[in-house]
Amino acid sequence: GVTPKIAPSMLSSDFANLASEAQRMLDYGADWLHMDIMDGHFVPNLTIGTPVIESLRKHTKAYLDCHLMVTNPLDYVEPLGKAGASGFTFHVEASKDNWKELIQRIKSQGMEPGVALKPGTPIEDVYPLVEAENPVEMVLVMTVAPGFGGQKFMPEMMDKVRILRKKYPSLDIEVDGGLGPSTIDMAASAGANCIVAGSSVFGAPEPAQVISLLRNSVEK
Ligand code: DX5
Ligand code: ZN
């Protein structure tokens, strides 16, 4: 069944105190830690890479939900697997020719493969990856243009979530970008169960309350 996974985006954390920020989110009730890996090429921002995942892994057993906003995801599979990543979600726009090999290599590194799509990419583009003999285990529907935290949620992306949920009742569907107390009901009622939230969690006076509000919305 599809259970809620609340995944604070560590992009909104104090990177200089990453281990304690991660522990703080787990104490507040987070299920996963969402790690935004960017290469300054696929998106116009540069964040963290393999060495940071490796360092963080030494401080936590948590599920590290890695979102690869990179042009060549295949280059990161083995390094991230060895570093201790849990989920490896690549972009469909960056894997036109090699998604079968990507999925196979992600699984052989002991990670769970997911596929992400940008707001401008049609939902049909991910169907082959979900229906493959060796499929992805999650689809991440971007609800902002990837690259930065703190942007405005795009409600028109909920059509993609609804279509996916109808087609694949037990698929993990993640939404990422602009999620918080004022937008979660749209995403949850459309059928999303994995919820990434950066600024709304880290910016809240009581992040634990926001995390439980997000979870309750998915559960109802
Ligand atoms: C954007 C990242 C998101 C981002 C979300 O490219 O993929 O994970 O951190 O941040 P908020 O929740 O602030 O939109
Ligand atoms: Zn992300």
- Best residue among 151, 194, 201, 210 to mutate for probing ligand 1's pocket (most ligand atoms within 8 Å of CB) is 151
We report the CATH number of the domain holding residue 110 as 3.20.20.70
Residue in 124, 184, 123, 195 with CA at minimum distance from that of residue 155: 184
Residues 13, 21 contacting (CB under 8 angstroms): yes
149/136 Cα distance (integer angstroms): 25
Cβ(91) to ligand 1 under 6 A? Answer: no
Report, as an integer, the average pLDDT of 19-34: 98
- C-alpha distance across the termini of the chain, in Å: 14
Q: What does the block give as tokens for 131? A: 């229906």
Confidence of residue 42 (pLDDT cuts 50, 70, 90): very high
Mean pLDDT, all residues of the chain = 98
State the Cα angle at 90 between 114 and 96, rounded to 5°: 110
Using CA atoms, how far apart are residues 173 and 191, in angstroms rounded to an integer? 7
Burial tier of 208 (Cβ tally within 10 Å: 0-12, 13-18, 19+) = middle
Number of domains forming the structure of the chain: 1
Q: What is the pLDDT of residues 55-81, one digit of tens each?
A: 999 999 999 999 999 999 999 999 999
| pLDDT confidence tier of residue 1, bands split at 50, 70 and 90 | low
Instruction: For residue 180, give its domain range.
Output: 5-219
- Please name which ligand lies nearest the alpha carbon of 38: 1
Against a cut of 0.80, is the pTM above it?
A: yes
Report yes or no for ipTM above 0.85: yes
Report the pLDDT value the prediction gives residue 208, as an integer from 0 to 100: 98
The token duo for 160 is 């993609």
